Amino acid sequence: MMWRALALALSACLIFVSSAQADYIRLMILGHPHWIEGRARVLPGRMVSIDLPDLKRKLILKLNATGETAYVDEIIKAPSRKQLYNRKLKAARKGTLDDCFELALWVAQRGLTKQHFEEVLAVMEEKAPDDERVQKLKAFWQKVKQPLPEKPGQREHIIEVVGSGMEFITSDHYLLAHDPPGKERAQIRLELMEQVYESFYLWFYLKGRELDFPDQKLMVTLYGDYDNYMLMVNRTDPELRMAAGFWSSFHNVAVYYAQDTTEFRKELRKLLREQEKEIEEAKRQRAPGTGELIRRHNSLKLLLDIIFEGDEIEVVTHEGCHQLAGNSGLLPPQVSTPIWVHEGLAAFFETPGDAAWAGIGAVNERRIETYRALKKLKDICTLEFITSDRIFTRAATVAAKDAAYGPSWALTHFLMNKKFDKFMEYYDALSRLPADMPLPEELLLKVFKEVFGKDLSKLEQEWHFYMSGLKTLREELEEAG
């Protein structure tokens, strides 16, 4: 039952909420923020009732109760994604073909291809049935939907990399090995990866870059236990201990662990077990306040699902992008591309765990705050420091390396949105560098300058000006409110 509930939870992030109105609700769970989308009603006694329609479940939490394990910190009224889509669809029907293409990109950005892309494509065909762009897009969509074959030896290859005892499950584009029992968990992961696959290919196509398709299913391993994952990491690359997953370009296998098996989740489940004992004792003694104990317990159980859901989406959107970039011809798998390039790209596609499916290129609150903080420091947020990869290679601590993601995301965001063609030219230039060898900082900087010009001062000024205009979802909603 638990995994069926989680499957519904994950699906809720990939489809629209069914209500016409929505609230963005900021929860605080053990001091960590988590945004969810639903309908919130403040009840007497500063209690908040939150409807999560697609889950058909209700979350009851206190408002601004800092002493609680979890509470509602903030409620922001806003149009639902369903409303936004319907408005855009209505405008596209009345507008031009270009308006339809913009809506198609919006759908791809938000991981909504399964629900709405074919509807948008139908509107395009009604508006311009013989238009070459429409026919090419339709043909490309069929390529995206075309299943990839599983080739002989793929399963044996995965076992050689991760060890024996794994079971296999497949989808249209992925071959996933998991340790038993974990089939339901693996199925959830496959559904998320398929959504990322569709969104990734369509987004780049609609931006003007048609990517190559793999000639076989993409290989993935999902450990059901964090400790087993760590044994794999220690055997391959101990520096990956802090990662929630990774893609090995050498083996062409992505390796993950189930996000509900970390120490944090184990502590939450321990707390749930303690609450269950407390409730049983309260029932036995018919103690006053038993109802409140049950409410807290039920809320914590649902919150555990929500946290797991968010973490699953974050790791798949981030690490899945690495695998797709290396198998689509976007980035060369055997060239030591700058860390800022592949991590900036993955962060650009990443949906943070404390948000709903924000979408490709959404303003990542964690990344932009890091960028803003580092911009105040001298010689950190400069094009030379980043594009030479010194922002990562000179990072002496884990915290410094984590902070480097912020400027890398910010520069990628700017180049993807304002200099896309040049950025793709730069990617292509990287693919022509020597393979299987470390690349010096001077060479990396030289390649960037060959594409964007020797004098980077104007581009750097343009980048920071662009970033000053970006706003997080919270900032946009606060301004609108």
Q: Determine the pLDDT at residue 363.
A: 86
Which residue matches tokens 């996933």? 176
Residue 343, in any domain of the structure:
no
Contacts of 78 (CB under 8 A, 6+ apart): 22, 23, 24, 477, 480
Say if residue 105 is in the same domain as residue 61. Answer: no
For residue 310, give the nearest of 205, 192, 405, 404 by alpha carbon. Answer: 192
The boundaries of the domain holding residue 262 are 80-328
Final residue of a domain: which of 296, 328, 360? Answer: 328
Say if residue 35 is in the same domain as residue 107. Answer: no
Say if residue 41 is in the same domain as residue 155. Answer: no
DSSP 327-364: HTTSS-TTS---HHHHHHHHHHH---TTSS---TT---
Say if residue 191 is in the same domain as residue 287. Answer: yes
Residues 448 and 456: their CA atoms lie apart, in Å, by: 10
Residues 205 and 226: their CA atoms lie apart, in Å, by: 36
Q: Determine the pLDDT at residue 12.
A: 34
Q: Within 13 Å of residue 11, how many CA atoms lie on the same side as its CB?
A: 14
Say if residue 65 is in the same domain as residue 118. Answer: no
Contacts of 468 (CB under 8 A, 6+ apart): none
Say if residue 67 is in the same domain as residue 185. Answer: no
Say if residue 166 is in the same domain as residue 61. Answer: no
Judged by DSSP in three states, 481 sits in coil
> Given the DSSP bridges, would you call strands 174-178 and 47-52 parallel, antiparallel or unpaired?
unpaired
Residue 1, in any domain of the structure:
no
The crossing angle, in degrees rounded to 10, of helices 405-418 and 365-375 is 100
- Residue 329 has φ and ψ, to the nearest 5°, of 85, 0
Evaluate whether 149 touches 216 at the Cβ level (below 8 Å). yes
Give the tokens for residue 269. Answer: 């489940």
Judged by DSSP in three states, 377 sits in coil
Say if residue 48 is in the same domain as residue 165. Answer: no
Q: Determine the pLDDT at residue 481.
A: 54
Q: Determine the pLDDT at residue 6.
A: 34
Residue 472, in any domain of the structure:
no
Say if residue 71 is in the same domain as residue 102. Answer: no
Residues 466 and 471: their CA atoms lie apart, in Å, by: 11
Residue 212, in any domain of the structure:
yes
Successive 10-residue mean pLDDT values, the chain, 481 residues: 35 33 77 79 89 70 85 82 87 96 93 90 95 96 97 96 90 93 81 92 96 97 82 75 78 82 69 87 88 82 73 80 94 90 92 63 88 92 96 91 94 97 97 90 96 96 96 71 54
Residue 119, in any domain of the structure:
yes
Judged by DSSP in three states, 73 sits in strand
Say if residue 63 is in the same domain as residue 185. Answer: no
Residues 35 and 310: their CA atoms lie apart, in Å, by: 9
Name the domain count of the chain: 2
* End-to-end CA, the chain: 40
Residue 12, in any domain of the structure:
no
Evaluate whether 287 touches 314 at the Cβ level (below 8 Å). no
Residue 290, in any domain of the structure:
yes
Which residue matches tokens 């980048």? 463
Say if residue 194 is in the same domain as residue 307. Answer: yes
Residue 246, in any domain of the structure:
yes
Residue 197: how many other CB atoms lie within 10 Å: 24
DSSP secondary structure letter of residue 63? B
Residues 444 and 393: their CA atoms lie apart, in Å, by: 12
